[in-house]
Structure 1
Amino acid sequence: MTPEQLWQATLGELELSLSRANFTTWFKNTFISEVNDKRIVVAVPNAFTKSWLENKYHKSIVKAFERITDNVVHEVLYRIEARDKKNATDTSVKQGESEAVDAVTQAGVSTQSVASDQEEAAAARDNKYTFDGFIVGKGNELAHAASMAVSDSPGKKYNPLFLYGGVGLGKTHLMRAIAHKIKSTNPGAKVVYGSFEKFTNDFVQAIKEGKGKEFKLMYRTADVLLIDDIQFITGKEQTQEEFFHTFEALHQEEKQIVITSDRPPKAIGSLPDRLLSRFEWGMIADISSPDVETRIAILKSKCLEKEYEIEDNAIEYIATNIQNNIRELEGALNKIIAHHQLFNKVPTLDSIKEIVSTLSLNPSRGAITSRKLIEIVAQFYDVPIDGIVGSSRKKELVLPRQVAMYLLREEVDASYPSIGNDMGGRDHTTAMHAYQKISGSIQKDDRLKQEVASITQLLYQG
């Protein structure tokens, strides 16, 4: 097994228990620099990443190495080192998860953030994100039908199309399939795709650089605008205002707008009424977890795509025991294939059962209780639970307390009076203030933003 194969197998393990954002943020541009007896040196791009892996993910990385090498690895170190671009290509983070190259023009103010014609043409030929590659089941048939209708007649039927559902259920696949089909049918169409975070970053950059006209030209002249993860619009008043005017300009010209979110419009906190009403103008379609028949079909499709054969009884076992989302299904399949390729052993049903049993699968959002959330926040910041919910005004308790109230609102969807009650009988205005403060702070403080993301990840690790 080469160092690159070992690292890819390890990343496959880690990806199953991390959010897409965390995985991409902390493992991009990493690779194995040295393998010496039972010691492995992982190369990282900067000191901040080195510190974060050492303090937050070291145990997970070691366990992943141990599982893959049958406990051969005893020591893992981290070193700041750049990969030699002439001799190696960065494959540490799957490009399918990247927003840099897609089947459409990547929205951006600078020319560097826009894909070249060749890149765009190559991406458009990629069959990974097409309607043909999307498995339709009871949980997604409405969203699929609406997406097909939009791609056939952009701006004419459902405008906007609002797709919502949990992580890894296919929202982004459908959005990209819409883009792929429109570009295939009409290569001259200007299709702009990006996350809401990218829209925000582009807007902020345009203000700083005095390029407001270029920003508006990019977004407001689109034939089709596709925005992923709109739920992050909360707390960004200036960006909300800009997005409202962008929406208005496109809708009046009958240009298609497609939006995705992890929740329905009414559940997006602090969303202005005028945006809420516009999000509800067209079609709202939810995507729920796939049933077992759909999961089986998805696994068979993935096996066909990867040219890999697994017995039907093994596929049924995987589909029965991994229920949350498609990403976890594919992650399990990737791990099974990796074990086969790395150890040259054909997987049996027993070995597949063993592999599935080791997967750290995330509980559903509804399984998170207020008590559990407060416990995890207290554990993360190493402060007592009584301190968070109590009346003490010690400096070291203020931030954990506010973060807990913010996450109770975001992840448990608790009302402000309920949050106040859970936090020791506080007034609802205290909970509201804490939520607004953290919402604003994470836009400016990268460290706090990552801390909140890490706590959220811990919530769903079981």
Structure 2
Amino acid sequence: MMWNAIKTSLHTALSESEFGLWIKPLECRRQEGQVLELAGPDRFFCAWVEDRYLDLIRHKAQELGQIGEVRLKVAEHRPLPFESDKTGQLRIPGTACAPRLRSLHPAFTFEQFMVGESNLLARSACKALATGDSTFGNCLFMNSTTGLGKSHLTQAVVHQVLQSAPSTRLHYLTAQQFSAEMVKNIRTNSMEQFSKKYVNNCDMLLVEDVHTLTGKNKTQEELNTILDYLIKSGRRVILTSAVDPRKLAGIDDDFRSRMTSGLVTGIESPDHETRARIIRHKMRQHGLAADENLVGYIAENLRGDIRRMESAVIGIKAKSCLCKTPPDLAMVREVIFGLIGAVVEITGESIRDLIGCQFRVSVEDLQSRSRKRAVTFPRQVAMYLTRKYTDKSLADIGNMYNRDHSTVLHAIKTITRDMSQQTSVREQVELLCTKIKK
């Protein structure tokens, strides 16, 4: 069949994960003359393939000859052939137990995740857990604000496990889904069956948004018992939260201790370089030329939530198609303005003014030779934040405070050290970072 020949050619052109995720599920619906009609499992899948792979499929088909046109449609729904094990539990053929999964985003894979200093540890730990590597232990707690990649990494683990070890008894759900399922089993007097599913029939448990369990003492108690068994028996566990575990209110101390008994890591907002790589990647995905000036402008003005970067790229593509012109700086500015309003540039002077206001010291004091703690600490923080949020060199920052570059370097090292050792310093700097971003 011609489709098999095309698939073989595609297999050599794509990575193993891309081929398995996007090409393998496609079926040849019919072949008439020079027209090949393919079918995908759902509309979202077909839209994704059409946007990113259909041109390549057509190219490979034309290279092999006989096929002049390739069309893609949604397959008619057909129920999966389930089998039943001795306990009466349904399972997918070829697997030990049908996994408990919430819906997966097909693009949330390790290959599509942009790695930077802000997420390197989280990504490495997830990759290790997905492949059964115990380097980082068997329990991971990830926390970050929204839109920084917790769900992407968690689903990347699921994709990897389903691809490399499909017989793994894996359960992936949100804390709210866990709570709702537990309530349902309490009402039907089937809590023993519920507990067995997560204790006896689980090799890997992934629970997102555990911060939503605030005040739900019974659910915390049940999940705590399950985690205790899984972790002690060497099963793999991944938990995510939008709140730092130390700041989780309404959470039982024993439950908090159990959740954080393994590796705890936060995902920070990506730095400028990582943001640029994310934007560059997304622009190429959407068929846009990744002009470095445009990439730099977007990366400079869109910080934090990666979803806004995706939204900006989609908006730029739509605007470009509508105007029938390639994107330029004016077009990008208009799209960015629609997302975040007027762009306020972060400068060394604006940071210095903010620090002066927050610590109630004047610019003259910050530039003076004073070595009082009330002046030196704000000055060091200002130097640290200016280096973090602007492109100024050490010498330029030093000139702002009548100091040389070695003093600035010492200030950056001092604040970095104090943030890792003193909670009060870290929280002060984090608060200032939030105010600068706003």
- Map of 1:316 onto structure 2: 296
Matched, 1:217 2:196: yes
- Map of 2:248 onto structure 1: 268
- Map of 2:107 onto structure 1: 128
What do residues 259-279 of structure 1 show as CA deviations (whole Å, max 9, x unaligned)? 001122111112212112112
Out of 308-317 and 205-214, give the one that drifted further: 205-214
Q: Percent identity?
A: 28
Paired residue type of 1:327: R
CA distance in 1, matches of 2:341, 2:132: 39
CA distance in 1, matches of 2:117, 2:252: 32
Matched, 1:191 2:194: no
* Count of aligned positions: 256
- Map of 1:172 onto structure 2: 151
Equivalent pair of 1:196/1:229 in contact (CA under 8 Å): yes
- Map of 2:123 onto structure 1: 144
Structural mapping, 1:368-379, within 5 Å? none
2:132 to 121, 145, 153: 153
CA distance in 2, matches of 1:197, 1:335: 33
> TM-score if structure 2 supplies the norm length?
0.53
CA distance in 1, matches of 2:182, 2:103: 27
> TM-score if structure 1 supplies the norm length?
0.50
Paired residue type of 1:265: P
3-state SS of the aligned residue for 2:269?
A: coil
Between Structure 1 and Structure 2, whose CA radius of gyration is higher? 2
Structural mapping, 1:21-32, within 5 Å? none
Instruction: List alignment gaps of at least 5 residues for structure 1.
Output: 1-88, 96-113, 364-461
CA distance in 1, matches of 2:133, 2:173: 18
CA distance in 2, matches of 1:157, 1:222: 20
Cα distance, 1:116 vs. partner?
A: 7.0
- Map of 1:246 onto structure 2: 226
- Map of 1:226 onto structure 2: 206
Cα distance, 1:127 vs. partner?
A: 5.5
CA distance in 1, matches of 2:259, 2:305: 25
3-state SS of the aligned residue for 2:340?
A: coil
Cα distance, 1:115 vs. partner?
A: 10
- Map of 1:331 onto structure 2: 311
Paired residue type of 1:336: I
Cα distance, 1:292 vs. partner?
A: 0.8
CA distance in 2, matches of 1:362, 1:213: 57
Equivalent pair of 1:159/1:281 in contact (CA under 8 Å): no
Paired residue type of 2:195: K
RMSD: 3.4
- Map of 1:53 onto structure 2: none
- Map of 2:54 onto structure 1: none
Change in CA separation of 1:319 and 1:143 when aligned onto 2, cut-off 3 Å = same
1:283 to 263, 271, 277: 263
CA distance in 2, matches of 1:294, 1:115: 41
CA distance in 1, matches of 2:322, 2:202: 46
Instruction: List alignment gaps of at least 5 residues for structure 2.
Output: 1-41, 49-89, 344-437
- Map of 1:295 onto structure 2: 275
3-state SS of the aligned residue for 2:142?
A: strand
Paired residue type of 1:140: N
Equivalent pair of 1:234/1:270 in contact (CA under 8 Å): yes
CA distance in 2, matches of 1:348, 1:277: 52
CA distance in 2, matches of 1:343, 1:117: 51
Equivalent pair of 1:206/1:215 in contact (CA under 8 Å): yes
3-state SS of the aligned residue for 1:130?
A: coil
Cα distance, 1:229 vs. partner?
A: 0.6
CA distance in 2, matches of 1:277, 1:197: 20
Query: RCO higher in 1 or 2 (8 Å CA, sep ≥ 6)?
Result: 1
CA distance in 1, matches of 2:301, 2:290: 16
- Map of 1:256 onto structure 2: 236
Change in CA separation of 1:266 and 1:325 when aligned onto 2, cut-off 3 Å = same
Equivalent pair of 1:155/1:256 in contact (CA under 8 Å): no
Equivalent pair of 1:130/1:177 in contact (CA under 8 Å): yes
Structural mapping, 1:312-461, within 5 Å? 312-360=292-340
Equivalent pair of 2:316/2:327 in contact (CA under 8 Å): yes
